[in-house]
Amino acid sequence: MIKIIITFLFYIFILFNTSLVANENDEKLRVGLLAPFSGENKNLGESLLLSTQLALNEIDNNDIIIIPRDSGSDDKEKLNLAIKEIIASGSKIVIGPATSTYFNEIKKYKNTIFISLSNKEPKISNNLINIGISLESQLKALEKLLIKEKKKKTVILYPKNEYEKFIDEKIKSIKLKNYKVFKYNPDPRVLTGEIEKLTNYKQRKKNLERRKNILEKKDDDQAKRELKALEKLFTLGSVDFDSVIIIDFGNSLKSVLSSLVYTDVDDTNVLISTVNQWFDESILRENLVKNLYFPSVNMKQFKKYNEKYFKSFGVKPNEITILAYDALGLINYVWKKNKGINTINDFFIKEKIKGKIGTFEFKEKKVSQILKIYKTDNNKFKEY
């Protein structure tokens, strides 16, 4: 059923828009959609198309026309052909590409504005705006959280991989007065040993055994009570930090959380946080850390979007498609406010812009999202 819906929508868009010709007196807004409708990322492209259609239905404006074209999966030739077809159809603004792979290619189309779904770089270039949830936006939200909670010694953990240098650069934006960086090997067999060193686990374990040995030689009631309390512990002594930011995802993140639990890092004393996880419920099922904090888009609106998408199309959406949904809302807002979109400068609006899911802020030639903080609480996600 879903394939039939996608095929119907795609060909309706293609056939209808093929005959479109730009007209200076035409007041319609033509928005291109660059999505991979072929290749290994085909499912993502189909989900982006449906998401855009969902947003279009909600906006309910017949003056907005979507022009979808296949950018292919890792196909430069197909990408350029798609962009040229969109421009020929009269569009000056395009949603996409979904990733930063071909940013150098789209720079060639100086008179076309691209609203990319990438979160790699929040800086606004000559013809490109990235509306993905950037690492800067997430770190800014976590920074506010740690300041509010009066945390003074933070450790930022992230793996040694291909994104290492990227993260190195981005954490320079952090304004916390006292933090240190800890890079770890993503191999779980090595990771636990590294976290043991970070938390001084072996020494704290020795502290416990030494104290228990002392108490076992005593026969007074106070010593017995303390010994009974120590029997419930794995270590004795606190770690040399009061907060943690883990920049990681999936099983690698879960390995770090497991290692923190194993090394007896108490999440009632140490605030443990991570980056946006799109409300991944497997974190709840794993029950790794009872109190885990993370920045994200509005949870209620996110759930509402997922429910509408599933009700409309019978499948669950890819997380990134929510950005395409928001992108159309953003474009519509700017178009109506300025009574048109001619250059990228039309997006430099002083006030914050509330999209379908997130709130955007355009400041100092950067775009950021105002994110909320959520935490795990009794096997549920709860707003902080």
Model confidence over 238-266: pLDDT tens digits?
899 999 999 999 899 999 999 999 999 98
Q: List the beta strands (DSSP E) in the chain.
A: 29-35, 64-70, 93-95, 113-116, 128-130, 154-159, 179-184, 243-246, 271-274, 292-296, 353-354, 359-363, 366-370, 372-376, 381-383
The reply to whether 2-133+299-368 and 136-297+373-383 are identical in fold is: yes
State the CATH class of domain 2-133+299-368.
Answer: alpha beta
Of the candidates 268, 267, 265, 195, which has an alpha carbon nearest to the alpha carbon of residue 235? Answer: 265
CATH of domain 136-297+373-383: 3.40.50.2300
Residue range 318-346, pLDDT digits in tens = 888 888 988 998 899 889 888 888 888 88
Q: Compute and round to an integer the Cα radius of gyration of the chain.
A: 25
pTM: 0.86
Cα 354 to Cα 64: distance, rounded to the nearest angstrom? 19
Pairing between strand 381-383 and 372-376? antiparallel
What confidence score (pLDDT) does residue 104 get? 84
Residue range 33-82, pLDDT digits in tens = 999 998 888 999 999 999 999 999 888 888 899 999 999 888 889 999 99
What confidence score (pLDDT) does residue 377 get? 87
What confidence score (pLDDT) does residue 240 get? 92
Coil vs helix vs strand at 91:
coil
* Domain residue ranges of the chain, discontinuous segments joined by +: 2-133+299-368, 136-297+373-383
Cα 336 to Cα 176: distance, rounded to the nearest angstrom? 39
Helix axes 221-230, 201-216, angle to 10 degrees: 150
Of the candidates 115, 116, 120, which has an alpha carbon nearest to the alpha carbon of residue 344? Answer: 115
